[in-house]
Amino acid sequence: MSTPATAVHAVEQAIYETPEVKTVHAIFRVVMDTGFSMVQPLLYVGQGERVVTVFYTAVMFSAVFGLCHFYKVDPLWISGFLGLNALATCYHLGQIWWRNKKDILWHSLYPGDPIIAPLVKHLPKGSDYWWLNGFYVPLFTALIAWLVKQFIDPGLAAVLMFSAFWMVVRNFVYYQQWRSEILDARDRFIESQHTIDALNAAPASKTAGFIVKNAKHLRPSDKKALAKQRLNATDFASLSA
């Protein structure tokens, strides 16, 4: 994680690092991933081997069973929904087995492709990963929930809406995590490219916004120390006196 920009940011970072907040965050992730897991086997294909695990499958079936009872879904439709998930899970396991048998390399943590991807790829943002998984897939799930409410069972529709809601939340949380990683990588790249210029007091417009405070008045020995710390450099000829 990068150095906090202000004391306020430092407090924010410290709060996130407390055991209590980490525990709440872990519980929150379990809830949102569980909500997503209840429909993932039905809505995604091509998952990696470490996505479709025994524990993940057990959590998914337990969540479906428990939530269906909470919303008083008719036992017939509970059986039907669990059965569809079981068939879909068997399909994914078979696909994983086939890839291993054919020695096909596939990332074990790949979350899979939404089955509606070909249908929405020409719609606005339809090919964008975050829009696809955070808008179109939940919208499709909500549409199915509406149809289920009209023609099958309102309780089962509530279960599907529960999943749709947590899909949106989950996508937003993981987007923020991804964005933070991108910003960290971008900052490291900028610093690697412009550290010498920043130490030589180049304007921010020339260093992509990276500056070394008071660089004009740093002693040469301090500049060398900072350059070595940031770049592990041994050639300081380009540093101005």
Of the given ranges (143-152, 201-210, 229-238), which has the lowest mean pLDDT? 229-238
Global pTM reads 0.83
pLDDT at 227: 81
DSSP bridge pairs for 44: 114
Buried b (16+ CB within 10 A) or exposed e, 71-106: bebeeebbeebeeebeebbeebeebbeeeeeeeeee
pLDDT at 141: 97
pLDDT digits (tens, 9 = 90+) for 110-131: 999 999 999 999 999 999 999 9
pLDDT digits (tens, 9 = 90+) for 10-25: 887 888 888 888 898 8
Whether residue 241 has pLDDT greater than 80: no
pLDDT digits (tens, 9 = 90+) for 197-206: 888 888 888 8
At residue 45, the 3 state secondary structure works out as strand
| Contact present, 148 and 157 (Cβ < 8 Å) | yes
Distance CA 192, CA 198 (A): 11
Using pLDDT thresholds of 50, 70 and 90, give the confidence band for residue 232: low
**Nearest alpha-carbon partner for 16 in 137, 218, 26:** 26
Using pLDDT thresholds of 50, 70 and 90, give the confidence band for residue 2: low
Distance CA 27, CA 53 (A): 20
Whether residue 48 has pLDDT greater than 60: yes
Question: Token pair for residue 46?
Answer: 């091509």
The domain segmentation of the chain, as residue ranges, is: 7-176
Please provide the DSSP assignment of 79-117 as one string: HHHHHHHHHHHHHHHHHHHHHHHTT----TT---EETTH
Whether residue 151 has pLDDT greater than 80: yes
Whether residue 165 has pLDDT greater than 70: yes
Distance CA 148, CA 221 (A): 72
Mean pLDDT, residues 72-84? 94
Mean pLDDT of the residues in the chain = 89
Distance CA 114, CA 137 (A): 7
What percent of the chain clears pLDDT 90, i.e. is strictly above it? 61
